[in-house]
Structure 1
Amino acid sequence: MDSGPSPHLVRAAKMSVWGPTDAGHLCPISMTYAVVPALRANPELAARYEPLLTTSVYEPGLRPPLTKAGLTAGMSMTEKQGGSDVRSNTTTAKPLGDGVYRITGHKWFTSAPMSDVFLVLAQAPGGLSCFFVPRVLPDGTRNPFALQRLKDKLGNRSNASSEVEYDGTVGWLIGEEGRGVRTIVEMVNLTRLDCTLGTATSMRTGVMNAAHHASHRRAFGAALIDQPLMRNVIADLAVEAEASTAAALWLAEVTDRAVAGDTRADAIRRIGLAVSKYYVCKRGPIHAAESLECLGGNGYVEESRMPRLYREAPLMSVWEGSGNVAALDVLRAIARQPETLEVFFDEVEVVRGQSPALDRAVTALRGRFADVSDPADIQFAARQIVGDMALVLQGSLLLRFGHPAVAEAFAVSRLGPGRGDVFGCLPAGLDIATIVDRVTPKVG
């Protein structure tokens, strides 16, 4: 983590630039980053381990964590009967005294099992609690951590995921007994930020690959990039990627403000992360499929690397809560903290008057919340409502911080009537040349 101003934003920018090299190794990097705020619920552990989790030094090998120059962290939360409903977990933690517990149970999904330390959820006498579990104990002995099997995943194959059995495994309590979910909330917030960032990075990679191919491929007497319909598709993909990137980087900057004590920033982050995680990650697979199609049959073969991009795309939508979980989390946040919704509308209406399409969309969205009489109705429509929240947020951000050509294209194609169901449905009259040029790699 950068120690200068806006460390979360600086890290996000670096992560986004590095992301296209290999998505698999980003998982342990993300979790190591996200473990830190949860670990601070146990100040004694944080004092010893945080410097090793935040260093830029990587040191492989299984040794006592405090003897290493740098550590990586994973998480071991999910059980087969619970999934996202971690309160139904059955793994138990028996107290031994002085904050030390013995953990016993099965975890259906443990991310990055090669890591040095893990956050683990287990049922203590006081309820579901969070524990700090090292692979190797301070005296050098192996902590019981039995790998049952590695998961045969759709994508993200360069990063191991596994089923793990704990059998009297030693762990240290983080936070209070019974407050395990509250303890890991901050970890979830940061990994949701990285899900949004990772998807936006994947989108930019996909559209740049598509634009590069279209620049060098000739068909029907002209380069593909010069043919009107292909330009529409490339431009539309670019608009989606820029809107998603703007949201991800803005959320990183909001995180900096929230961590510094800005209560309004903390409120907008609470709702903005769930909104963006839902929508951006939901758009990722569709974007990857369209980018692949721009290469035609070449995109369907492994040499193009587009199949790998396509396989990676669904991961971000599944990780840290599937689409339904993220959408319902937005409604839950609004119900528990109604002020978050007003802070959200204050944020998107900063640019009121600059775009009639955005103004109408925001007014309509306010009406959706005002007209709700039965909570079941809003839950039934959660995806539509949260998707509309994401769109007005992205539109507002592009008007403030994006290129005018991109902002205009986004407003008329995403916020106005006749929204297209597929990419390549931008209306005439937009500055397509500027949008396409911004995503076309320059050679030489």
Structure 2
Amino acid sequence: MTPSTHTVSNQPPPLIDYDVFASDAALVEGVARHADAGRAAGLAEELGVLGRAAGSRRNQEWGRLANERLPLLRTHDRYGHRIDEVEYHRTWHHLLEHAVAAGLTDAWGHPDGHLRRAAGLMVWTQPEAGHACPLSMTHSAVPTLREQPELAEVWVPLLTSRSYEPTLAPAAEKRGALAGMAMTEKQGGSDVRSNTTRAEPAGESGMYALTGHKWFCSAPMSDVFLVLAQAPGGLTCFLLPRVLPDGSRNTFALQRLKDKLGNRSNASVEVEFDGTTLAWRVGEEGRGVPTIVEMVAATRVDCVTGSAALMRQAVAQAVHHATYREAFGDRLVDKPLMRNVLADLAVESEAATALALRLAAACDGADAGRAHDRHLLRLAVPAAKFWVTGRCAPLVAEALECLGGNGYVEESGMPRLLREAPLNSVWEGSGNVQALDVLRALQREPGSLNAFLTEVGAAAGADHRLDAAITGVLTELSDLEGMEGRARRLAERIALVLQGSLLVQHAPPAVADAFCASRLGRDSGGAFGTLPAGLDPAAIVRRAAPGPVEIAP
């Protein structure tokens, strides 16, 4: 009997209803490695609950709808009153409500708090990355607000609450709040010192009126925003509430939504301040950049974590597809060349995960007062942000190609990952900004280099290629002539050596060997899938699979 033309065969089942945490060996092992021994089991159990929710059919459907039903700008109500609101699809609120309830804005001051949050963020945002923006802004605002204790007393309990309340209302009437950010302007971008928004004292102590235009404002329906503006004493940081204590709306004119490449579930707007907007000063006048630097560092860590999450999801989808799809008589995963590609992608993903978790653990250490972790973060954060976020887009593109034409179709979810992939390399400073910050750390804070050398020194002697790479970094640093022109190369080498040291110490030999051979050794290619001979790609792919898989040797 002739089969129906609508018979479906040789198509993989959807990757749904799986545990995003438990199926990620690198993440599970990294959490166990960095967590306090007495808390590790409970933390893994908590992340498993989140991982099963993240991989559920329902949550993946939420992610799809949040990106298809785009935010809408509502500047006025039906009567002509200005309201300046953004209307989101209900699934956006479902995602945020679950994330906030899971504590993804609550890390500061808790043992292993940053590690728990980073792992949770990596798990929960894999199906939908856009809502990570308000989560990151809210989390990162806390250290900046500590600069102004009277503001921190009001806002920090709300920002770290596990209650999600999307309705705009005065702080006194809310159980939880989100924070946004309005820093950049059209003439400056990352050069915030060129900002022209003005801040004029408004009578009451610490109160100012703002006048200006912000080119990018993140999460515009947040309750409160950190804003940079030029006060009489110079560039200053301010806290701007959407609703004033008396219940009236602050002047916060939303001009238009940005039509972005990706991150489409998350609204980004241009916002106008017209001189009647009231804000509270955070820190001293003229100290805007130093005041907000801890927020920037925290969001950069989230950029690394977010890119690691995107990489992991792309690799999981590629390995899953290749496990079930057959071509030319065999499954794709059993084809030596495809297996080499998948293994190479998996190594890149695992290295990103290992470095992201180390940064999170260092945040916990710095929060607890450990000097080594504080110095390490100063150098490692911009280096990791430069390298990991820059590797995300080419990895996702290659993973999409593993699905062939199916990967180019929206229903696969891969195009959304690809559009999202460049975001973290642009957000919070592009690659050049990060590379120059690496130089700044080395020149102004010698403790950061000592911390880096101590960190990678723990793996000294374990792999000759890693040892040679460490020596190479020191050689780079010995030649200061024209250093700015070589800043990207230096940032890359620092990040790779950090990743290599982590994998050599903690990853299975197959993964560490492949990383050192292809990223640190001389026998390396420029494209994914060029792992040299003599490695064990099958073991690497089995480890990266989101479910059990048998792979022919």
TM-score by length of 2: 0.79
**One-letter code of the match for 1:5?**
P
- Deviations for 1:346-370, whole angstroms, at most 9, x for unmatched residues? 2112111000000011111101111
Q: Which amino acid aligns with 1:153?
A: K
Partner of 2:335: 227
1:265-304 correspondence runs (5 A): 265-304=373-412
Decide which of 417, 427, 438 is 2:522's aligned counterpart. Answer: 417
Asked if 2 retains the 8 angstrom alpha-carbon contact of 1:49 and 1:66, the reply is no
1:161 is aligned to 268
Q: Which amino acid aligns with 2:334?
A: D
Distance 2:422 2:187 in 1: 22
Q: Report whether the alignment pairs 1:59 with 2:178.
A: no
Match of 2:512, as an amino acid? Answer: A
Distance 2:321 2:536 in 1: 21
Q: Which residue of 2 aligns with 1:210?
A: 318
Equivalent of 2:423 in 315, 323, 328: 315
Name 2:227's counterpart in structure 1.
120
**Aligned residue in 2 for 1:436:** 541
1:358 correspondence with 2:463: no
- 2:196 counterpart (90, 107, 111): 90
Deviations 1:297-317 (A, max 9, x none): 111110110000000000000
Q: Which residue does the alignment assign to 1:25?
A: 131
Task: Give the partner amino acid of 2:153.
Answer: A
1:50 is aligned to: 156
Supply the distance in 2 between the matched residues of 1:46 and 1:402 (Cα, whole angstroms): 41
Residue type of the partner of 1:364?
G
Could you tell me which amino acid in structure 2 is paired with residue 69 of structure 1? R
Report matched runs for 1:234-253 at 5 Å. 234-253=342-361
1:194 matched to 2:306: no
Query: Equivalent of 2:290, from 182, 192, 206?
Result: 182
Of residues 423-432 and 103-112 in structure 1, the stretch that sits farther from structure 2 once superposed is 423-432
Q: Is the 8 A contact 2:517 2:523 kept in 1?
A: no
**Structure 1 CA distance, aligned partners of 2:110 and 2:382?**
27
Letter in 2 for 1:238: A
Identify the residue that residue 40 of structure 1 maps to in structure 2.
146
SS at match of 2:422: helix
- Which consecutive residues of structure 1, in runs of 5 or more, have no partner in the other structure? none
Work out whether 1:388 is the aligned partner of 2:493.
yes
For the residues of structure 1 that align with 2:426 and 2:476, how far apart are their CA atoms?
Answer: 27
2:326 maps to amino acid:
R
Match for 2:419: what amino acid?
R
Which residue identity does 1:405 align to in structure 2? A
Is the alpha carbon distance of 1:51 and 1:425 closer, same or farther for their aligned partners in structure 2, counting shifts above 3 Å? same
Report the identity percentage.
60
2:116 corresponds to? 10
Give the letter aligned to residue 166 of structure 1: F
Deviation at 1:422, TM superposition (A): 0.8
**Alpha-carbon deviations, 1:376-424, whole Å to 9, x = none?**
x111011111101110010001112222221111011100003211100
Who is 2:502 aligned against?
397
**8 A contact 1:129–1:173 mirrored in 2:** yes
Greater mean deviation of Cα atoms: 323-332 or 4-13: 4-13
CA contact (8 A) 2:163 2:176 kept: yes
* Aligned-residue offset at 1:443: 6.3
**Cross-structure match for 2:237:** 130
Secondary structure, aligned partner of 1:21? coil
Does residue 252 of structure 2 align to residue 145 of structure 1?
yes
Quick one: distance in 2 between partners of 1:443 and 1:287? Answer: 23
CA distance in 1, matches of 2:164, 2:218: 18
Q: Is the 8 A contact 2:542 2:548 kept in 1?
A: no
Query: Match of 2:532, as an amino acid?
Result: P
Q: Secondary structure at the match of 2:290?
A: helix
* d(CA) in 1 for partners of 2:548, 2:268: 38
* Bigger mean CA offset, 433-442 vs 69-78: 433-442
1:165-185 deviation line (CA, Å, top 9, x unaligned)? 011210000010000001110
**Paired letter, 1:234:** L
Helix, strand or coil for the counterpart of 1:20?
Answer: coil
- Single out whichever of 398-407 and 41-50 deviates more from structure 2: 398-407
In structure 2, what is the Cα distance between the partners aligned to 1:94 and 1:73?
23
Which one is further off, 279-288 or 419-428? 419-428
Report matched runs for 1:315-354 at 5 Å. Answer: 315-354=423-462
What is the alpha-carbon distance in structure 1 between the residues aligned to residue 332 and residue 479 of structure 2? 48
Residues 119-141 of structure 1, C-alpha deviations (whole Å, 9 max, x = no match): 00000001000000000100011
Q: Identify the range of structure 1 (285-294 vs 1-10) with the bigger mean alpha-carbon deviation.
A: 1-10
Q: Which amino acid aligns with 1:60?
A: P
Asked if structure 1 preserves the Cα contact closer than 8 Å seen for 2:523 and 2:532, the reply is: no
TM-score by length of structure 1 reads 0.98
- Once residues 66 and 443 of structure 1 are traced to their aligned partners in structure 2, the CA distance between those partners, rounded to angstroms, is 51
Measure the CA separation in 1 of the matches of 2:228 and 2:139.
Answer: 18
Q: Which amino acid aligns with 2:262?
A: G
- The superposition leaves residues 38-65 of structure 1 with CA deviations (integer Å, 9 ceiling, x where unpaired) of 0111000101111000011100111112
Instruction: Give the 3-state SS of the residue equivalent to 1:80 in structure 2.
Output: coil
Q: 1:103 aligns with which of 210, 213, 216?
A: 210
Deviation string 1:105-155 (CA, Å, 9 cap, x unpaired) is: 000000111111000000000100000000010001110000000000000
**Is the Cα contact below 8 Å between 1:74 and 1:115 reproduced in 2?**
yes
Letter in 1 for 2:206: G
Q: CA deviation at 1:259?
A: 1.1
Q: How much has 1:4 moved relative to structure 2?
A: 4.5
Q: CA–CA distance in 2 between the matches of 1:178 and 1:403?
A: 50
What is the letter of the counterpart of residue 103 of structure 1? L
SS in 2 for 1:176: coil
Distance across 2 between alignment mates of 1:26 and 1:139: 31
In 2: Cα distance, 1:301 partner to 1:270 partner = 41
Tell me the matched-pair count: 441
